[in-house]
Amino acid sequence: MGRRKTAENLAANPLALNRRARVRCVGLTRDVWAGPGGWKPGRGGSWRCLCFRFASAEQEAAAEQSGVSEAPALAPRLSAKPQPRSGAGPPESQGLRGPRGAGCRLRSRRRLSWTAARQIGAEMLGQDVRCLLAVAAASGIATLILILVQVKDVYLPARTKYGMVFDAGSSHTALYIYQWPADKENGTGIVSQAEACTVQGPGISSYAENPANAGASLRACLDKAMTIIPVEQQRETPTYLGATAGMRLLREQNSTKADLVFAEVSKTIRQYPVDFRGARILTGNEEGSFGWITINYLLEMLIRFSFTGMRIHPEAAAVVGALDLGGASTQITFHPGRAIEDNSTEVLFRLYGTNYSLYTHSYLCYGENQALKKLIASLREENLTSQQISHPCYPKGYEENVTAAALYDSPCVPAPAAHDPSQILTVRGTGAPAECRSAIQKLFNFTACGANRTCGFNGVYQPPEHGQFFAFSGFYSVFHFLNLTSGHPLSDVSATIEHFCAKDWKEVQMVDPGMNKTRLQDYCAASTYILTLLLQGYKFDNQTWSNIHFHRQVAAVDVGWSLGYMLNLTNTIPLEAPNRVKGQRPDLWAAAVLTTCLTLAMIIWTGLALCYQWPFATYETML
378 among the known binding-site residues? no
Residue 220's alpha-carbon distances to 263, 274, 276, in angstroms, are 18, 15, 17
Residue 480's alpha-carbon distances to 130, 353, 381, 499, in angstroms, are 88, 37, 32, 16
First-to-last alpha carbon distance for the chain, in angstroms, is: 10
Instruction: Please report, as a single letter, which amino acid is at residue 557.
Output: V
User: How many alpha carbons lie under 13 Å from residue 464 in its C-beta half-sphere?
Assistant: 4
Q: What whole-number distance in Å separates Cα of residue 171 and Cα of residue 563?
A: 19
Q: Are 539 and 456 in contact (CB under 8 A)?
A: yes
Within 135-288, strands assigned E span 152-155, 160-168, 173-181, 192-198, 238-243, 275-281
Instruction: Please report, as a single letter, which amino acid is at residue 250.
Output: L
Instruction: Please report, as a single letter, which amino acid is at residue 38.
Output: G
Q: Is 514 helix (H, G, I), strand (E, B) or coil?
A: coil
Q: What whole-number distance in Å separates Cα of residue 275 and Cα of residue 163?
A: 9
Q: Is 361 helix (H, G, I), strand (E, B) or coil?
A: strand
What is the radius of gyration, based on Cα positions, of the chain? 47
Long-range contacts at 269-273 (CB < 8 A, ≥ 24 apart): 269/166, 269/215, 269/218, 269/222, 269/239, 269/241, 272/222, 272/225, 272/226, 272/234, 273/226, 273/234, 273/235
Q: Are 582 and 150 in contact (CB under 8 A)?
A: no
Report the run of H or E that residue 497 belongs to, with start and end: helix 490-501
Contacts of residue 417, Cβ cutoff 8 Å, sequence gap at least 6: none
Neighbouring-strand partners of residue 250: none
Instruction: Please report, as a single letter, which amino acid is at residue 279.
Output: A
Q: What whole-number distance in Å separates Cα of residue 274 and Cα of residue 238?
A: 7
* Helices marked H in 149-218: 211-216
328 among the known binding-site residues? yes
| Catalytic residue annotation | 287
Q: What whole-number distance in Å separates Cα of residue 21 and Cα of residue 36?
A: 30
User: Which residue, 50, 48, 102, 95, is CA-closest to 71?
Assistant: 50
Q: Are 502 and 433 in contact (CB under 8 A)?
A: yes
Q: What whole-number distance in Å separates Cα of residue 315 and Cα of residue 346?
A: 19
Q: Are 469 and 549 in contact (CB under 8 A)?
A: yes
User: Which residue, 118, 115, 106, is CA-closest to 40?
Assistant: 106
Q: Are 567 and 286 in contact (CB under 8 A)?
A: no
Q: Is 78 helix (H, G, I), strand (E, B) or coil?
A: coil
Q: What whole-number distance in Å separates Cα of residue 572 and Cα of residue 351?
A: 12
Q: Helices 284-298 & 561-569, crossing angle to 10 degrees? A: 90
Could you give the maximum distance between any two Cα atoms of the chain, in Å? 148
Q: Any idea what DSSP says for residue 35?
A: G
143 among the known binding-site residues? no
Q: Are 293 and 567 in contact (CB under 8 A)?
A: yes
By 3-state DSSP, what share of the chain in percent is helix, strand and coil, each rounded to 5?
40, 20, 35
330 among the known binding-site residues? yes
329 among the known binding-site residues? yes
Binding residues for ATP: 327-331
